[in-house]
Amino acid sequence: MSGTSIGAPSADVAMMQMRQSASSAAAPTGKAGNGSVDIAKIKKSATEFEAVFATEMLSHMFEGVGADPVTGGGNGEEIYKSMMIEQYGQAIARSGTLGIADKVAAALIKAQEK
């Protein structure tokens, strides 16, 4: 247990820096370690990762949902269903309710510090 808590303060500090940088109107580049880190790009990549994860999770959930009896199903419904699931995944990622993007961003920032 103590091995995992040693790196946690550094990740928490990195997350605080990322949130402060993202909320301020300052330049999106912050210093971490001996190099510069583009916080905005890291946050965007982490959010995109969370969106892909949520979309994949939702697609498995919707596999058991049958065709709509009103429209009768078909190829069009399947195409639009996948688009709807993708939008759901993106909305979940934007809301930050899963918290995956925060953890991924902190890990990316920590990797840049090395």
- Contact in structure between 56 and 103 (CB atoms under 8 Å): no
**Tens digits of per-residue pLDDT, 16-75?**
454 444 444 333 444 444 457 788 899 999 999 999 999 999 999 988 887 777 777 777
Better pLDDT: 36 or 9: 36
Q: What residues does each domain of the chain span?
A: 2-113
Distance of CA 76 to the CA centre of its chain: 29
14 — pLDDT class (breaks 50, 70, 90): very low
| Confidence (pTM) | 0.61
- Cα–Cα distance measured from residue 114 to residue 99, given in angstroms and rounded to the nearest whole number: 24
Please, which pLDDT band fits residue 1 given cuts at 50, 70 and 90?
Answer: very low
**How many whole angstroms separate alpha carbon 15 and alpha carbon 104?**
10
